[in-house]
Amino acid sequence: MNKERNMNGGNGKKEQLEQFTTDDRNQKMTTNQGVKVSEDEFSLKAGERGPTLMEDFHFREKMTHFDHERIPERIVHARGFAAHGEFQVYESMKPYTKAGFLQDPDKPTPVFVRFSTVAGSKGSGELARDARGFATKFYTEEGNYDLVGNNIPVFFIQDAMKFPDLVHALKPEPHNEMPQAATAHDTFWDFVANNQESAHMVMWAMSDRAIPRSFRMMEGFGVHTFRFVNEEGKSHFVKFHWKPVLGTHSVVWDEAQKINGKDPDFHRRDLWEAIENGDYPEYELGVQMIPEEEEFRFDFDILDPTKLWPEEEVPVKLIGKMTLNRNVDNVFAEMEQAAFHPGHVVPGIDFTNDPLLQGRLFSYTDTQLIRLGGPNFHELPINRPVCPFHNNQRDGYGRQTINRGKVSYHKNSLAQNTPETSTEEEGGYKHYEEKIDGYKIRRRSDSFKDHFTQATMFWNSMSEAEKEHMIEAFSFELGKVESKSVQQQVVDMFANVNTELARGFAKAIGAELPEEKDNKVTKKSPALSQENTTKSPATRKVAVILGDGFQDTEVKGILEKLSSQGIQTEVISDQLGMVKGENQSELEVQHTFLTADSVLFDAVYVAGGKEEDKTFYKKAAYFVQEAFSHYKPIGATHAGGKLLEGANMDESPGVVISEDAETFVTKFTEAVAAHRHWEREVI
């Protein structure tokens, strides 16, 4: 058995990483060769005012290492953030798959999860309108299994052959590298209109799903149809889902754009802080399964990655839970060097002929070769499996393993034909023996040619507020497109999805309104609307606006009660330090009106202060107005009530004003759990 394994707890991934972790604090400084350094500020010079000498090995080493600190950023998904955690299955999945990590509900499997945006560079703002990557590496005892998904269950294209075209179109335009982290430009929409298989995913990208409130509050999808294979060799088609325990929630577009300026790290900060606070993000793993013999039972092709399987037709079975419970020690070593690959599978999980998946199976290793500089990236601590790995692969840049012996080929007699292959019973991976018999052709199956039915189903499933947001999103994106022809092509394309939608944004961009199309699709899938998601006040961040002279006795009690509901409160005032109540007790101020902004919070509670402090109230009113216009819950007690009355907000949905602390806490907690109050009229 590998000595890196089973050191204590789990299957040893944490301990394995610790072997490579170092702490430079309280140590003597040395060069990389271990020689102690006596001076680290001045290069070695010929005379006090003279030139630096070539023999200064310390300077040369320090500078050379620095010059090589960067590696190419990911061509897509460059901006991301990750955390460690564990996964546990609820009950054995033996009837469906032999995958070892899905058998024993008492055995946790370590995981590493990286969330990302797709289009932007490594330093871009995190609230871009974009799909989010949701990539999970399971360190199983049978090898690494990577589920490399997105928060949108379908994709723009049906064949990986078109991926470079898609990415060229959505990235900043090559002649001036604009716009950063945005699809609101000519080339993206030109691609959409001329590659109409993108219709369904574009609907998702224009929906609230593309501006999540948090990585902790978004779903994840494996997108492709994979296979589960059990010990008897029976196969089920399977789609994977991650369901966030806190529900699926989004921000509004105006807010997203402002967050990008106020805190471009908003999503990573949220994840990092939740884990540091012990509010571990949780996601349930769900699977939709279709037995092999039912492959053709549906009105869409189940291998088409632009189609989802409506949950009402193929129920999602929740089979386990993932908990993210540990932040990384070092972003570069762990997140930047993590190499995910949909082709990293374990026995019991297999591929299908989805042509998008087939192409991905090539692309991911290929990209790591350039990004991580050679074929040995599997040896990097974050990528190492927890089980032993032995084969005849040798050498290459950065090789760390020291392979003993002179035999590095198969078959051999000098090493008794080892390392030896394993039978299926011994755990050897055996590809599912699917019968394939056909012509070599460059063509797409007719069963992949309906691009609009599910796009319409998505539209039909949205609430009124969600539909409005989508019309606005199209209007924004196409409003930024310069080509009138591209604008009109997109209007005409989406008239095939829904006339109200296409006319809605055509009007906003001054395009010709499309003719009414005879679209007979009435199907809905309620599971697609975020209106129907879990609502909970847990971990919601409330800005508490306090000024000197606030009603301290009651307000402190209210804050404690809110916190017992899992709500996090942060005090905002006009200056840092302590804010003093009318009975002289104090509370610490975490932010000023200058360092905080309503867009960084889920809700606002105004308890106010001395009523005569006009400047304070002016700033507070601005803060609250903005939160109100983003449909956020707003609460007020004491002097805060007058502020809301003055701004005519007091009668609006999601606004809670009460002098009675008990009633206030109950109603405000409900309002916070509701997330947003779309029924509110915003002037």
Check the annotation: does 74 bind a ligand. Answer: yes
Contact with ligand HDD (CB under 6 A): which of 149, 385, 504, 608?
Answer: 149
**581 binds ligand HDD per the rule CB under 6 A:** no
**Residue closer to ligand HDD (CB basis): 138 or 340:** 340
- Asked if residues 524 and 460 have their Cβ atoms less than 8 Å apart, the reply is yes
Check the annotation: does 443 bind a ligand. Answer: no
Question: What is the SS3 assignment for 464-494?
Answer: HHHHHHHHHHHHHHHHCCCCHHHHHHHHHHH
Which residues, 6+ apart, have CB-to-CB distance to 230 below 8 Å?
94, 95, 96, 97, 98, 348
**Residue closer to ligand HDD (CB basis): 306 or 637:** 306
DSSP state of 333: I
150 tagged catalytic? yes
**387 binds ligand HDD per the rule CB under 6 A:** no
Alpha carbon distance 362, 571 (integer Å): 51
**148 binds ligand HDD per the rule CB under 6 A:** yes
Among the listed ranges 56-64, 148-156, 169-177, 541-549, the one in contact with ligand HDD (CB under 6 A) is 148-156
**136 binds ligand HDD per the rule CB under 6 A:** no
Q: How far is the CB of 81 from ligand HDD (least distance, A)?
A: 9
- Most distant CA atoms of the chain, gap in Å: 93
- Stretch 59-88 residues interacting with ligand HDD (CB under 6 A): 74-77, 80
DSSP H or E run through 571: strand 568-573
Contact with ligand HDD (CB under 6 A): which of 81, 145, 163, 188?
Answer: 163
- Stretch 291-350 residues interacting with ligand HDD (CB under 6 A): 305, 338, 340
Among the listed ranges 358-366, 430-438, 459-467, 663-671, the one in contact with ligand HDD (CB under 6 A) is 358-366
Q: How far is the CB of 301 from ligand HDD (least distance, A)?
A: 15
**201 binds ligand HDD per the rule CB under 6 A:** no
Q: How far is the CB of 678 from ligand HDD (least distance, A)?
A: 29
**Alpha-carbon radius of gyration of the chain:** 28
Alpha carbon distance 397, 68 (integer Å): 15
Q: How far is the CB of 616 from ligand HDD (least distance, A)?
A: 45
β-partners of residue 209 are: none
β-partners of residue 568 are: 541
**Residue closer to ligand HDD (CB basis): 340 or 664:** 340
Q: How far is the CB of 288 from ligand HDD (least distance, A)?
A: 16
Q: How far is the CB of 398 from ligand HDD (least distance, A)?
A: 17
Per-residue mark of binding to ligand HDD, 96-115 (x: CB under 6 A): ------------------x-
**Residue closer to ligand HDD (CB basis): 149 or 212:** 149
The token pair at 367 is 């990209």
Q: How far is the CB of 74 from ligand HDD (least distance, A)?
A: 4
**155 binds ligand HDD per the rule CB under 6 A:** yes
Cβ-count burial 667-681 (b if 16+ within 10 Å, e if not): bbbebbbbbbbbebe
Among the listed ranges 146-154, 481-489, 528-536, 648-656, the one in contact with ligand HDD (CB under 6 A) is 146-154
- Catalytic position from the list 77, 84, 224, 267: 77
341 tagged catalytic? no
**128 binds ligand HDD per the rule CB under 6 A:** no
**Residue closer to ligand HDD (CB basis): 151 or 487:** 151
- Stretch 203-242 residues interacting with ligand HDD (CB under 6 A): 223-224
**Residue closer to ligand HDD (CB basis): 137 or 185:** 137
β-partners of residue 132 are: 117
- Stretch 480-499 residues interacting with ligand HDD (CB under 6 A): none
Alpha carbon distance 683, 665 (integer Å): 27
The terminus-to-terminus CA distance of the chain in angstroms comes to 68
| Residue among 171, 162, 160 nearest 118 (CA) | 171
The token pair at 436 is 């394939």
Alpha carbon distance 19, 9 (integer Å): 15
DSSP letters spanning 350-384: E----HHHHHHHHHHHHHHHHHTTSTTGGGSTTT-
Alpha carbon distance 533, 266 (integer Å): 22
| Residue among 150, 200, 91 nearest 453 (CA) | 200
Give yes or no for a cis peptide into 110 (omega within 30° of 0): no
| Residue among 245, 226, 233, 228 nearest 92 (CA) | 228
Cα 542 from chain centroid?
Answer: 23
C-alpha separations of 474 from 183, 184, 298 in Å: 11, 9, 31
| Residue among 55, 29, 31 nearest 43 (CA) | 55
- Catalytic position from the list 58, 84, 144, 150: 150
**Residue closer to ligand HDD (CB basis): 116 or 214:** 116
**Residue closer to ligand HDD (CB basis): 160 or 607:** 160
**Residue closer to ligand HDD (CB basis): 145 or 155:** 155
Alpha carbon distance 208, 319 (integer Å): 27
Q: How far is the CB of 117 from ligand HDD (least distance, A)?
A: 10
- Stretch 360-379 residues interacting with ligand HDD (CB under 6 A): 360, 363-364, 367
Tokens 């170092």 correspond to what residue?
22
Dihedral, 476, 481, 487, 491 alpha carbons, nearest 10:
-20
Check the annotation: does 444 bind a ligand. Answer: no
Give yes or no for a cis peptide into 355 (omega within 30° of 0): no
**Residue closer to ligand HDD (CB basis): 111 or 148:** 148
| Residue among 220, 199, 204, 223 nearest 304 (CA) | 223
Handedness of CA 481, 485, 491, 496 (dihedral sign): negative
Among the listed ranges 53-61, 147-155, 176-184, 537-545, the one in contact with ligand HDD (CB under 6 A) is 147-155
Contact with ligand HDD (CB under 6 A): which of 11, 109, 116, 144?
Answer: 116
**135 binds ligand HDD per the rule CB under 6 A:** yes
**150 binds ligand HDD per the rule CB under 6 A:** yes
Q: How far is the CB of 343 from ligand HDD (least distance, A)?
A: 11
| Residue among 327, 340, 370, 397 nearest 17 (CA) | 327
Check the annotation: does 70 bind a ligand. Answer: no
Give me the residue whose beta carbon is nearest to ligand HDD. 133
- Asked if residues 312 and 58 have their Cβ atoms less than 8 Å apart, the reply is no
Contact with ligand HDD (CB under 6 A): which of 99, 127, 160, 603?
Answer: 160
**Residue closer to ligand HDD (CB basis): 364 or 432:** 364
Q: How far is the CB of 517 from ligand HDD (least distance, A)?
A: 29
Q: Phi first, then psi: what are they for 322, rounded to 5°? A: -115, 135
Residues forming contacts to ligand HDD in the complex (CB under 6 A) are 74-77, 80, 114, 116, 133, 135, 148-150, 155, 160, 163, 223-224, 305, 338, 340, 356, 359-360, 363-364, 367
Binding residues for heme: 74, 114, 163, 360, 364, 371
Residues assigned a catalytic role? 77, 150
The annotation places the binding site at 74, 114, 163, 360, 364, 371
